[in-house]
Amino acid sequence: MISLTPAEIDALLLSLRISGVAVACALPIAVLTATALALGRFPGRFILDAIVHLPLILPPVVMGYLLLIGFGTRAPLGAWLYETFDIRFVFSWTGAALASAIVSFPFQVRAIRLSLENINHGLYQAAESLGAGPIDRFFSLTLPLAWPGIIAGAITAFAASLGEFGAIITFVSNVPGETRTLPLAIYTAIQTPGGELAAARLAALSIGLAFAGLMLSELAMRRIRKRAAS
């Protein structure tokens, strides 16, 4: 294999870090949101559903712009975060993770929700009759039974994060070593006449990374399904 340039390694590691953090942080929220959507009956349910889908519908560039408006250091929320916790999203990799998380959020929610809706209601009744309260049931039944969906959602989200471009470049710019992920690096290469080869190398790297991730997840999934086959 051709050895990687430091810039390529930078982009690779950065992509992994950003996607990993994005998925890890978004997952619990996605699980909760999906649970609310799948099992809950509350007034704002439809609005919540719509909001979750927003990042899908709006072009990533618009999402990036909206993030800038919401989380920029001059925006009230962003300013507050910056002053109080010294958290700054703009121009930093955490911002890229935030953008990735938001853009890939709908995939996670969809997949998890689909799994949740497939759980046989009778099992909840059984658990309830055995003394399990709502939170107990959530951890002892809902979560483990929704594993296939949670994993599927996490994979899709991870893959989508790896490929996320528009929202990142708009929100946090294209700073080498800080926010220049693989897609941004590929984009940069493609924008340059004669940059095709560099772009192809980076694309191959992306693909390899994704294959490895898929392979891992496939194995995990298979083990889970073997357990739960019914």
Partner 1 sequence: PASAWSKDITVFAAASLTNAIQTAANRYKEETGAHIRLSLASSSTLARQIAAGAPADIYISANQKWMDWLSDQDLIMANSRHDILANNLVLIAPTNSTVAPLTDITKDTSLLGLIDADDRIALGDPDHVPAGIYAKQALTTLGQWENLAPRLARADNVRAALSLVERGEAPLGIVYRTDAMISDGVKIIGTFPENTYTPITYPIAMMKPQADNGALKFLVWLLGDDAAAIFADYGFNAVANKATIIPDTAAQ
Partner 2 sequence: MSITINVSHNIGKFSLDADFSIAGPGITALFGPSGSGKTTIINIIAGLTRPQRGHVQLNEHVLFDHARSINVPVRKRRVGYVFQDARLFPHLSVRDNLYYGAKRNPVKLSAPDQQEIIDMLGIRELLDRLPSNLSGGEKQRIALGRALLANPDVLLLDEPLSALDQARKEEILPYFENLRDQRKLPILYVSHAIDEVARLADQMVVIENGQTLASGSVFDMLGRTDLAPLAGQFDTGTVLPARIASRDPKAQVSFLETAGQRIVVPYLGQPVNTQVRIHIRARDVLISRTPPEGLSANNIIPVTIIRMTESTENTVDVSLAFGHDTDALHAGTAPDRPILHARITSWSSGRLNLGLHQKVFAVIKSVTVNGNLRDH
Name the residues that contact partner 2, by CB under 8 A.
120, 122-123, 125-133, 136, 140-141, 144-145, 147, 227-230
Give CA separation, 172 vs 9, 57, 64, 77, in Å. 20, 21, 8, 16
6: contact with partner 1 by CB under 8 A: no
Identify what 140 binds: partner 2, a copy of itself, partner 1, none; CB under 5 to 8 Å per kind: partner 2
Minimum distance from residue 9 beta carbon to a copy of itself (Å): 18
Cα atoms found within 13 Å of the Cα of residue 152, Cβ hemisphere only: 16
Minimum distance from residue 99 beta carbon to partner 1 (Å): 13
220: exposed, middle or buried (C-beta count within 10 Å: 0-12, 13-18, 19+)? Answer: middle
75: exposed, middle or buried (C-beta count within 10 Å: 0-12, 13-18, 19+)? Answer: middle
Identify what 125 binds: partner 1, a copy of itself, partner 2, none; CB under 5 to 8 Å per kind: partner 2
Tokens in use for 131?
A: 């003394």
Cβ atoms of 179 and 168 closer than 8 Å = yes
Of 48, 114, 132, 173, the residue at the interface with partner 1 (CB under 8 A) is 173
Minimum distance from residue 225 beta carbon to a copy of itself (Å): 7
> By the criterion CB under 8 A, which residues form the site for partner 1?
65, 68-69, 72-75, 78, 82, 86, 88, 90-92, 94, 169-170, 173-176, 178, 188, 190-195
